[in-house]
Structure 1
Amino acid sequence: MTDERSVRAVVHGEVQGVGFRWAARERLAGLGIDGEAVNHGDGTVHVEARGPRPAVDAFVTWLHGGGTPGRVERVDVRDE
């Protein structure tokens, strides 16, 4: 049985209007995990990711990694 992980993340910075949600959805699909990315009125993007732990870990690393569109200042991640 594969170890599963489910996370919610709030991404802060210049992440709206720069293709961040699109890139996050593409990365989720590329890693074969379920999830979504939604803009919020406070300028953050809220992200959910669910799937095999190694894939979700890779996604969380990508959120922090600097290869994302825009400018990520902080990522708050909470395991569900």
Structure 2
Amino acid sequence: MHKRKKATEGEKVLAAIYAIQLELRRAQAGFQDETDEALIDSYIYEIISLHKKYEYYLRRAKELGLAAAGCAKIS
């Protein structure tokens, strides 16, 4: 039986940052391709919301002194 390693808070924060980056790319692509006014508004709200989440997780990463692979420490 293998014990699964529990993710640290730092690993969770970095995973959230990467996931939000992907969601932002998807939402921005949808926004660029959309022509319906209601859906454009929906993408705008989604992008704003994702930016707020992204800012939160970047602050947490900085507080924890984290750095992503191949990147400098977040300061």
TM value normalised by structure 1:
0.30
Bigger Rg, which one:
2
Of structures 1 and 2, the one scoring higher in RCO (CA 8 A, sep 6+) is 1
The structure with more helix, counted as a fraction of residues: 2
The structure with more strand, counted as a fraction of residues: 1
